[in-house]
Structure 1
């Protein structure tokens, strides 16, 4: 994660849950809030409902990799937290990726798609 700092402080997570915008998918919840910095700060939450440590860490690794691969598409200056849900454990990687991108688009975290006219609108 080239342009991102890890979120680790509990108070930052709590502030994001209370004052940030959120979007929900079956496998995850995405919270975001402007942070007034030039880089993003990223955190992942995986509760004990997901399973034992091995299972939780597997979900965290997948979500971190999805973020890393799409980091260049995400606008800078945001605090972003992904809360994994129980269905993330049994979901395939591509489903997690589609859900993450859909939520990021819904929260307007993605850069514009490039030249005008490329995207079809109904």
Structure 2
């Protein structure tokens, strides 16, 4: 039995009236409550303009056709990542899709960054039409170049 008038209306319109519109287990109000929807943590994201500026102006850069990655170190806090997706990439829906993909990719690669890292991932227009696997390969390539350069300049210390 649907739990609210809105759910009852959805169930009435549905081709499967025995199911309510929401398919989550009892007590779970969203994907987040189930632990299904995990994103890059708030502590790992850059939000202030000064951090973006520091990474872009003082850091090293590695470019690929779909993205450019800027890397700098600052302090000993946990690594922080920021994303820049301009209107040249596409409309709002396309830009948000690219940002979601990049956040997801960086969440899995955050442990590769040394402490105090500031990383800015800037999407180029071809990122809008790039397949997820291609975006992942280009991000890995750019990160590998930057981290290899960093290790050679610091004598192999992370």
- Bucket of the pairwise TM-score, normalised by the shorter protein: 0.7 to 0.9
Taking the aligned partners of 1:41 and 1:24, their CA distance within structure 2 comes to 19
Say if 1:108 and 1:3 are closer, same or farther in 2 by CA, change over 3 A.
Answer: farther
Say yes or no: does 1:16 pair with 2:55.
Answer: yes
8 Å CA contact 1:16, 1:33 repeated in 2: yes
Unmatched tracts of structure 1, length 5 or more: 113-122
Give the deviation of 1:20 after TM superposition.
0.7
Aligned-CA RMSD value: 1.9
Taking the aligned partners of 1:17 and 1:70, their CA distance within structure 2 comes to 20
Give the 5 Å matches for 1:104-115: 104-108=143-147
Partner SS, residue 107 of structure 1:
helix
Unmatched tracts of structure 2, length 5 or more: 1-39, 152-158
Say if 1:15 and 1:71 are closer, same or farther in 2 by CA, change over 3 A.
Answer: closer
Taking the aligned partners of 1:64 and 1:2, their CA distance within structure 2 comes to 10
Give the deviation of 1:2 after TM superposition.
5.4
Taking the aligned partners of 1:3 and 1:34, their CA distance within structure 2 comes to 19
Aligned to 1:68: 107
Give the deviation of 1:36 after TM superposition.
1.1
Aligned to 1:31: 70
Give the deviation of 1:52 after TM superposition.
1.0
Higher relative contact order by CA 8 Å / sep ≥ 6: 1 or 2? 1
TM-score (norm 1): 0.82
- CA deviations over 1:97-122 (Å, ceiling 9, x no partner): 0111111110017xx9xxxxxxxxxx
8 Å CA contact 2:84, 2:121 repeated in 1: yes
Query: Which structure's residues are more often strand, by fraction?
Result: 1
Taking the aligned partners of 1:103 and 1:96, their CA distance within structure 2 comes to 11
Q: What is the total number of aligned residue pairs between the two structures? A: 110
Which segments of structure 1 move beyond 6 Å, counting only runs of 4 or more? none
Give the deviation of 1:30 after TM superposition.
0.2
TM-score (norm 2): 0.64
